């Protein structure tokens, strides 16, 4: 009876603790609402799943590097080590770019006699455990790739029906991140194929970031929050203005489902790969940061131009992406021909807002953001700081703010109550 009483009391205490934790997390993300500004209506987070997967990862969107956009299948352990070295030597790792993610093509075409995946013997003669040890020695984390199908997209072994064995193998190597693709899936619903790997990773006891790459086919924002730490909402990005803008619009519609623990993923960054102009890459990075998208560099960080480096190391833009409030910014207004003058915005901690004025037209234009459109209080004046000039452009703006924006350019600002800027 004493043990029964003790267990009941303990259970009650645990229940109370979990309830307090639940309320703390929920209230931390509740946005202020008044009939005047309707902030909660504009930046709805009601569909965000509290605690999400609950593996302790992804309190903010993941940052790092991925091999696919630049290298495709042309890489080896020497390249991966040099990338890790470059992340450290350039200072990118200090800014949060900590994951070194190997995409498709790392394995041999077939499993071994015991049914295990085998790293490509020519590309990784030292093995992936050795490579993970090297990456970890740099203070970084190593990611790997597999597929929720019979084969990967490049016809290497997939992990469908091998989840427990593959997860245990990855954990034994010291893997910290798994990108899990969607090829050769036998027509099995993703809601059935992706959870087994979640369970297998959790069973290893190792904290592994689980990144679902379902391409948005079955609207993963509706169901992936309890399965992974991020989920692709779109098809693969291409290094072009058309691809980048299309993907941004698709990802935007799922904004209400993202939050700490689970993020919408519009695919990796193309900044520095040569297919867009400086202004377009700057817009790409600005909108990805505002949308709380994963910031996974897709260029060769061993050989970055000064412009690429400037974009990827913008600490103020990164701070927007990593803001602990964790509310995905979104498109709040469109103006001009075909809606190509756009205003994107989102709330941040400290009563601040990030606002992006994005000119997707072919000519220079003046874009105006009005307080009621953004969700600001009409009676409050705001300071406006340009995150690419790193300077204030206004210390006392009232009711609206306008700026001239070049074609395909995007200016990104922090709006804060005017008194806060004066105090700073």
Q: Which residues contact 413 (CB under 8 A, 6 or more apart)?
A: 354, 355, 356, 357, 384, 385, 386, 387, 393, 401
For residue 56, which of 165, 233, 210, 167 has the smallest C-alpha distance?
Answer: 210
Cα 367 to chain center, whole Å?
A: 27
For residue 258, which of 234, 222, 297 has the smallest C-alpha distance?
Answer: 222
Q: What tokens appear for 64 in the block?
A: 């790092």
Q: Which of 236, 249, 372, 386 does the annotation list as catalytic?
A: 236
Cα 356 to chain center, whole Å?
A: 18
Rounded (5°) CA angle 393-397-398: 165
Q: Which residues contact 411 (CB under 8 A, 6 or more apart)?
A: 356, 357, 386, 388, 403, 405
Angle in degrees, 0-180, between the axes of helices 241-252 and 278-290, rounded to the nearest 10: 10
Q: What tokens appear for 136 in the block?
A: 């970890």
For residue 366, which of 399, 331, 335, 398 has the smallest C-alpha distance?
Answer: 335
Q: What tokens appear for 198 in the block?
A: 């979640």
Give the Cα separation of 305 and 118 in Å (integer). Answer: 36
Residue 323 a catalytic site member? no
Please check whether residue 307 is in contact with residue 278, taking contact to mean a CB–CB distance below 8 angstroms: yes
Residue 181 a catalytic site member? yes
Q: Which residues contact 389 (CB under 8 A, 6 or more apart)?
A: none
Q: Which of 104, 147, 176, 181 does the annotation list as catalytic?
A: 181
Q: Which residues contact 109 (CB under 8 A, 6 or more apart)?
A: 155, 156, 157
Tokens 């987070």 appear where? 45
Residues belonging to the active site: 181, 236
């Amino acid at each position: 009876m004493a043990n029964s009483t003790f267990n009941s009391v303990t259970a009650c205490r645990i229940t109370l603790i979990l309830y307090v934790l639940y309320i703390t997390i929920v209230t931390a993300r509740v946005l202020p609402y008044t009939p005047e500004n309707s902030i909660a209506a504009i930046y709805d987070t009601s569909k965000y799943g509290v605690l999400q997967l609950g593996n302790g990862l992804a309190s903010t969107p993941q940052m790092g590097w991925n091999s696919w956009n630049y290298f495709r299948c042309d890489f080896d352990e020497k390249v991966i080590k040099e990338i890790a070295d470059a992340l450290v030597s350039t200072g990118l790792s200090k800014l949060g770019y900590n994951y070194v993610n190997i995409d498709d093509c790392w394995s041999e075409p077939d499993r071994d006699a015991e049914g295990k995946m085998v790293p490509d013997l020519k590309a990784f003669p030292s093995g992936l455990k050795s490579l993970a040890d090297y990456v970890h020695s740099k203070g970084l984390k190593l990611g790997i790739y597999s597929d929720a199908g019979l084969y990967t997209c490049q016809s290497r072994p997939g992990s469908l029906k091998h989840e427990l064995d593959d997860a245990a193998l990855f954990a034994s190597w010291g893997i910290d991140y798994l990108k899990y693709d969607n090829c050769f899936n036998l027509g099995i619903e993703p809601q059935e194929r992706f959870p087994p790997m979640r369970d297998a990773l959790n069973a290893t006891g190792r904290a592994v970031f689980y990144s679902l790459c379902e391409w948005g086919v079955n609207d993963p924002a509706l169901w992936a929050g309890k399965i992974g730490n991020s989920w692709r909402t779109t098809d693969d990005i291409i290094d072009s203005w058309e691809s980048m803008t299309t993907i941004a619009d698709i990802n935007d519609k799922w904004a209400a489902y993202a939050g700490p623990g689970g993020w919408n993923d519009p695919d990796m960054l193309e900044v520095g790969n040569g297919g867009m102009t400086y202004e377009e890459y700057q817009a790409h990075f600005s909108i990805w940061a505002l949308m709380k998208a994963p910031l996974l560099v897709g260029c060769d960080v061993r050989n970055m131009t000064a412009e690429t480096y400037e974009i990827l190391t913008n600490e103020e833009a990164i701070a927007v992406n990593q803001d602990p409030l964790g509310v995905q910014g979104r498109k709040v207004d469109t103006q001009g021909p075909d809606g190509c003058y756009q205003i994107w915005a989102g709330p941040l901690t400290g009563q601040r807002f990030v606002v992006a004025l994005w000119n997707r037209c072919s000519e220079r234009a003046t874009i105006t953001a009005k307080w009621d459109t953004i969700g600001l209080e009409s009676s409050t004046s705001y300071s406006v700081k340009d995150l690419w000039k790193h300077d204030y452009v206004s210390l006392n703006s009232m009711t609206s703010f306008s700026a001239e924006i070049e074609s395909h350019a995007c200016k990104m600002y922090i709006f804060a109550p005017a008194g806060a800027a004066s105090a700073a």
